[in-house]
Structure formats: structure tokens, C-alpha cells
Amino acid sequence: MQLPDPEILLNDITAKIKALVITDTALVGIHSGGVWIMQRILGTLGNIPHGTLDAALYRDDYAQRGLKNEPKPPNILFDVQGKHIILIDDIFYTGRTTRAAMNELFDYGRPASITLAVLINRGGAELPIAPQIVGAELMLNPNQDLQLSQDIKGKLHLGIKNG
Amino acid sequence: MVNPQLDKNGHLKHLLTIEGLPKNILTQVLDTAETFVGVAERDVKKVPLLRGKTVCNIFFENSTRTRTTFEIAAKRLSADVINLNVGTSSQSKGETILDTVDNLIAMHTDMFVVRHNQSGAAHLIAQHVPDNISVINAGDGRHAHPTQGLLDVFTVRRYKPDMHNLRVALVGDILHSRVARSEIHALTTLGVPEVRVIAPKTLLPAHVEKLGVQVFHDMNEGLKDVDVVMMLRLQSERMSGAMLPSAQEYFKTFGLTPEKLALAKPDAIVMHPGPMNRGVEIDSRVADGKQSVILPQVTYGIAIRMAVMAILAGGNA
């Protein structure tokens, strides 16, 4: 399967996000891919209030899977109250990570709005949640594992594994 | 030998003692605690991880501070918490420990936090409970107090991240301290190259040097160039007979004063597990001074206990 070039998708969603940025906008990246993408967007758009989270403490599969071995501490240093938040993730799949991330954000304050931006929507939503800003739509089977990676120069790559 | 604290996949099942815990588990607890440090600074000081779970603090021995920190930790994870002071409850009517535990299991408790003045009490309960229940040792006799040891090591790592390059001194009542052993194990496992103990001969356990520490009986020698000074509390309630001449005499020789602290590195930190005996093991000018991290230890204690509970409670379904 021919995968899209994530660098082109990144330029695309950066342009879409740029059009949305107003005074009270803040960016929040979800670890790990969403944080890489956010850092690149900040590199283009300049300094916008921003933070990171990994939503591990809010996931619905904690009882089955427990905590990850390397949890990343959240880092939300701006005041969430009243902000228009653009939540950034690499791949949108079931919507469960987004649900967990939104719940975590609300524990920091009441945002004015949340917009979800992703590089790829791979289909398979299990919740009434959908990304508003999408680089590309790819319909994948559940046994296909799509992963974003970042090389040492900061360049993004997409890979797929068939399980 | 089977480690009763780990399940068959090598994951933490109970936390009974730091001894025998592999480095990857210690690191997992410390890394997880990092994610909880910020929770208390937010608008909502809670995460939903243990929602619907019941944590029971069974304290066969009084310890208000330890019980409170476990209670806050469990509540910040959204668990329901029951506090049982067994000293004042049915044990005084003759019920055995395991009968007490069985009753609480019948009430669908998911996790026990156990404090007892007898070594091994938490082990006994851990061996007794069914698979889906975890036990945390909150201090048993002179034996272990793993969460205190972990929070101390966490504090060291936060202030002195390069643990492979540290000199740490434990000062005071090593003999009666359940924290000291936990700490020595954790520090050496995490790669601290030099751990010293400084104490009078009467307050050192026999063969203490077998734990891999350097032994000093003189503060002026032992504190020289250390990065971390961990003071221990004089456990007067655990002492019998004349191990010490007097509190004043002890302070003169082993109390941490600004003058003695000046022998350590200029950026050395001072720790104390509390409660402090001011003027006995530590001078108020040191306890309240710039190098003291005694109150941050209390704050980090919540994060460490949250981390331990979160690791134990997950992945059981």
C-alpha cells in the first residue's frame, strides 16, 4: 500500500491550523506523535501557548492493560480556562485516546472549545468523536498497525505492519 | 526463589519491601510518580484511575502521617477509602489478623494498605488474599517501609538526577529504622556508588557493612563532601534500655547543625522522613534552611503512593 508522505500532510494541517489561530488559541499535543507534530507546527507558526499530555491516567483500558511502562508526565502550563484548544494527535482510530485526552483537559479548567487535528484518520471510530482537521483519510483493516515515527533529524515517517 | 511481590510475568503485584525488587520496577515506580506530581497543582486534584475501587488502610499500629498520605493518594486516584485502626477495633476483642482481613475481603476491598508493629505482617496478608487483591506494606516493625524508601529515592533523583555520581549519607538511628534498609537497597540498586551510614555503634545493626555501605561514627568525617544528607528520627518509642546517654548528648555528637552541614558539598540537600525531633537529631536552622527538602519529601510521598497504587491496581481485569 502506498502511504502518503507525512511531511506533506504536516504542511497541509499546519496551513489549516494557521487559519484557525486567534488570540485565545492554545495547542495541545498527545504523546508521542502528536507532540512531534505540535513542535513542528510551532516551528512554523511561532509561539502559541501549548502543552502536552498522554492521557494514560484517563484511558478506559487501564483495568485490562494497566499503566504503560514509560508514562510521560503531562505538561500544561497555560490556563486552560476559556481557551480555544487545538488538540493534536498523529493517527485517529477508535476515538478513545481523544476521549481520555478531553477528560484530562477538563480537569485543568473549562476550555471555550476543543478542535481535533490529526495527520491521518484511519477509520474505525467507536465513539461519536471525529477529527475536524485531517491530513489524509485512509481506510485500514483492524489487523493493520499504522505508526508514525520521527528520525534523528526530526523528519516524520509513516510505516505499516500487518498483524 | 519466588518473589511474592511479583506476578508470573514479573509485574508488581504487592509492595512489601524494596529488597529484591529489580531496577526496572523501581524505575517504573519513580517514572510513574513523575506523572502524578502535577496532579495536585491542577484545578481538579484527581485522576479517575481507581474509580470504583475500594482501598482499605488497616493500621494495627498508629501512624497518622503515613495513613493520611495513603488516604490522600487513594482519594486523588478516585478510590473509596476505608480507614481501620485495628488497635481500637475488633482485634481488641480477640479477632485474628486474617479474620479481620477476610471480613474486609467479604466487603469487596480491592487493595490493602497495612501497617503493623510486627515484621512480616504485610507478607502474611499478601499470601492470604486472593489474586485480584494487592497489598502495600506501610511499615512493619523494624523490617521495611517501602513507600518511604521510594519517596526518599524519588526526592534524591528529582534534586540530583545523576545518581551514578552521588555520595549519600544516612545519619542516626539505623538500628531501629525500617526506612534505612529500604533506602540503602533502593539507592544501591539505582546505581548510587557511595552510601555512608553515620551513627553511634549502639544504633547500628550488626554486620551493617554487608549492605554495601561505608560506616562512620563521626559526623565530621562522614559528612565530608556528601551530596545528600538523610537524617533519621531517633525512635525513642522503639528503644529499650540505655542505648544513648541523653538527647542533649546525642545532639552534640550526631545532631545536624549548620556547622556540620558545611562539611558536605555546598549544594547538598538535607532530608528527614519526619516527624522531626528538633534539637535532637536536627537543628531548626538546618530543618528550615535553604538546603532542606523535608517538605518536598512530604509532597512527593503522595505522588509515590499514587504511583504504587496505580501500578498495582491496573491490568487485573
Query: Which residues of chain A make contact with B48, given a CB cutoff of 8 A?
Result: 57-58, 103
Contacts of A25 (CB under 8 A, 6+ apart): A48, A49, A83, A84, A85, A86
Residue B310 C-alpha, separation from nearest chain A C-alpha, in angstroms: 7
Min mean pLDDT across B29-33, B88-92, B110-114, B288-292 is at B88-92
pLDDT of residue B240: 55
In this model, does residue B317 exceed pLDDT 60?
no
Domain with residue A71: its CATH number is 3.40.50.2020
Domain count, chain A: 1
Residue at A66 is within a domain: yes
Residue scoring higher pLDDT (B93 or B25): B25
Option in B11, B31, B47 nearest A57 (CB): B47
Strand B54-59, strand A156-162: pairing: unpaired
Q: Concatenated DSSP letters for A1-59? A: -----HHHHHHHHHHHHHHH--TTEEEEEETTHHHHHHHHHHHHH----EEEE--GGG-
B131-157 confidence digits (pLDDT tens): 999 999 999 877 789 999 999 999 999
Confidence category of residue B239, pLDDT binned at 50, 70, 90: low
Residue B291 has pLDDT above 70, yes or no: yes
Nearest residue of A to residue B53, measured between CA atoms: A63
> What is the rounded CA–CA span in Å between residue A103 and residue A100?
5
Nearest CA in chain A to B41: A108
**For the ranges A58-72, A97-111, A117-131, B168-182, which has the lowest average pLDDT?**
A58-72
Name the minimum distance, in Å, from the CA of A71 to any CA of chain B: 6
CB contact (8 A) between residue A64 and residue B315 = yes
* Domain assignment of residue A110, given as a range: 6-162
pLDDT at B248 over 60: yes
Cα distance between residue B219 and residue B260, in whole Å: 7
Residue numbers in B near A66 (CB within 8 A): 11, 311, 314-316
* B180 phi/psi in degrees, rounded to 5: -55, -45
CA–CA gap between residue A114 and residue B261 (Å, rounded): 52
Give me the pLDDT at residue B19, please: 87
Contact list, A60 vs chain B (CB under 8 Å): none
**Closest-CA residue in chain A for B132?**
A63
Cα separation, A23 vs B216, in Å, equals 62
When the pLDDT of each residue in chain A is averaged and rounded to a whole number, the result is 94
Q: Report the percent of chain B where pLDDT is more than 70.
A: 93
| CA of B54 vs chain A CAs: smallest distance (Å) | 14
* Chain A residue closest in CA terms to B35: A73
What ipTM did this prediction achieve?
Answer: 0.82
Determine, yes or no, domain membership for A1.
no
Q: Which residues of B touch A103 (CB under 8 A)?
A: 48
User: pLDDT tens digits for B198-221?
Assistant: 999 988 988 888 888 999 999 999
CB contact under 8 A, A109 and B43: yes
Domains of chain B: 23-145+299-313 (3.40.50.1370), 146-293 (3.40.50.1370)
Give the pLDDT confidence of B2-12 residue by residue, as tens digits.
688 998 888 89
pLDDT digits (tens, 9 = 90+) for A97-155: 999 999 999 999 999 999 999 999 999 999 999 999 999 999 999 999 999 999 999 99
